[in-house]
Amino acid sequence: MKKIKVDLNDRSYDIISGSGIIKEIKQYVENLKFSKIVIITDTNVAKLYGLRLLKLLKPYKAFIVNIPPGEDFKKLYTVSAVYDQMATLKLHRDTLLIAFGGGVVGDLAGFAAATYMRGIYFIQIPTTLLAQVDASIGGKTGVDHASCKNLIGAFYQPKFVLIDTDFLKTLPMREIKTGLAEVVKYGIIKDPELFELLEANPKTTPDFWIEIVRRCAAIKAEVVSKDEKESHLRMILNFGHTFGHAIESLTNYSTYTHGEAIAIGMFAASNLAFKLEMLKEKDLIRIVSLISRLGLPTKCDLKASDIIKTLYMDKKAKSGKARFVLPVKIGKVVVVDNVSDKKLKEAFSSLPVC
């Protein structure tokens, strides 16, 4: 078991990670003040682990509220349905909410916690690789809007994050790959040794996953501690996401998983950096090679012009200009917001991306 601290003064919290540590959940929640527990999860996770979590939380009065799985349901109407069930259960402000699932569950449940009765305690128990290395940490909560991913949301920090890597044993391979896209991101933005570890094609043993989660969580905790609300440093965590979110939006969140869209986005951002003479060709080749070898896509069937139009709806846009996180080498990125449409089209035109 390892602990990493997210340092936010009176809202600081621990990221607790390890193998099989879900069985220790009761000792971590007992220090929180609450009268009831509501577990927000999706139907897939509920079938696999819902009853087990309820048993581990005895003798607390705990309830499960299920939502449908998938990004299609990360909408305000789903949050409204969650509110309805919580109100029916007569849950008050002294309720502890547990977000138990992947990134969609964590984002939506966190937003419900931030807004139900103006805010209740919540904790994150992520069950997917993507959520364990990224989405469950940092307090970003929210839902999608028809015009933009994550347009509606709030910064709302959990009381702690409990990461049990044993949940990965039941994760489909496609979901493992989508999580690895975020791991690649961390290697490119801040941890060249992590990138090299992935390049070495190691065996995916339990110790491997523990190490991967620890390294990614440590980076995100450091960044969030310095810049909680994404005013400067935290923007580096969006590497690949400006393009990736546009691709997700244009395909109605149905063609690619989040990680697959981000993989295409990282490929496009890296090529743009190369075209702007910011990134050396050898590093571009390493990035492209690793993304491809991990079984992640590097192309999509969208027009470059459509993607460029969608970029300007991105939350990170500033003064009508899209902002890009671009690599200058493996382990370092910079934020750029003065890229012309011409340069964007040039970057796309030489890629098998669009």
Q: What is the DSSP letter of 155?
A: E
User: Considering the domain boundaries, does residue 354 fall inside one?
Assistant: no
Residues 109, 186 within the same domain: no
343 annotated as belonging to a binding site for a ligand: no
Range of the domain at 128: 2-171
Q: Identify the pLDDT of residue 344.
A: 86
315 annotated as belonging to a binding site for a ligand: no
User: Considering the domain boundaries, does residue 230 fall inside one?
Assistant: yes
Catalytic residue set: 118, 140, 182, 220, 230, 234, 238, 241, 245, 258
The encoded tokens of residue 142 equal 């929210």
Confidence of residue 184 (pLDDT cuts 50, 70, 90): very high
Tokens 């527990």 label which residue?
37
| pLDDT tens string 119-148 | 999 999 999 999 999 999 999 999 999 888
Residues 207, 158 within the same domain: no
The encoded tokens of residue 49 equal 């682990």
Residues 220, 329 within the same domain: yes
The encoded tokens of residue 29 equal 């929640």
106 annotated as belonging to a binding site for a ligand: yes
Counted residue by residue, the chain has a size of: 354
CATH number at 123 reads: 3.40.50.1970
Residues 159, 189 within the same domain: no
Describe the chain by its helix, strand, coil percentages, rounded to 5.
50, 20, 30
pTM of the model: 0.94
Confidence of residue 353 (pLDDT cuts 50, 70, 90): very low
Paired sense of beta strands 13-18 and 2-6, if any: antiparallel
Report yes or no: 6 and 160 within 8 Å, Cβ to Cβ: no
pLDDT average, residue stretch 307-322: 72
Residues 106, 120 within the same domain: yes
332 annotated as belonging to a binding site for a ligand: no
47 annotated as belonging to a binding site for a ligand: no
Residues 336, 243 within the same domain: yes
CATH number at 307 reads: 1.20.1090.10
127 annotated as belonging to a binding site for a ligand: yes
Q: In terms of Cα–Cα distance, which of 321, 302, 319, 303 is closest to 311?
A: 321
User: Considering the domain boundaries, does residue 51 fall inside one?
Assistant: yes
Residues 182, 152 within the same domain: no
| pLDDT tens string 223-242 | 999 999 998 999 999 999 99
User: Considering the domain boundaries, does residue 200 fall inside one?
Assistant: yes
In this structure, what is the dihedral angle of CA atoms 111, 27, 133, 201, given to the nearest 10 degrees?
A: -160
Residues 129, 182 within the same domain: no
| pLDDT tens string 5-47 | 999 999 999 999 999 999 999 999 999 999 999 999 999 999 9
Lateral strand order in the sheet of 36-42: 2-6, 13-18, 160-164, 121-126, 95-101, 36-42, 62-67
Angle at which helices 192-199 and 206-226 cross, to 10°: 160
- Percent of the chain past pLDDT 90, that is, above it, reads 81
Residues 202, 117 within the same domain: no
d(CA 279, CA 164): 37
Residues 241, 126 within the same domain: no
Confidence of residue 186 (pLDDT cuts 50, 70, 90): very high
- CA dihedral (290, 291, 293, 298) positive or negative: negative
Residues 167, 193 within the same domain: no
Last residue of a domain, one of 140, 171, 202: 171
pLDDT average, residue stretch 285-309: 91
pLDDT at 149 over 90: no
User: Considering the domain boundaries, does residue 286 fall inside one?
Assistant: yes
331 annotated as belonging to a binding site for a ligand: no
**Alpha-carbon separation of residue 326 from 29, 36, 91, 276, 296 (angstroms):** 40, 45, 45, 10, 19
Reduced to 3 states, what is the DSSP secondary structure of residue 325?
A: strand
Total structural domains in the chain? 2
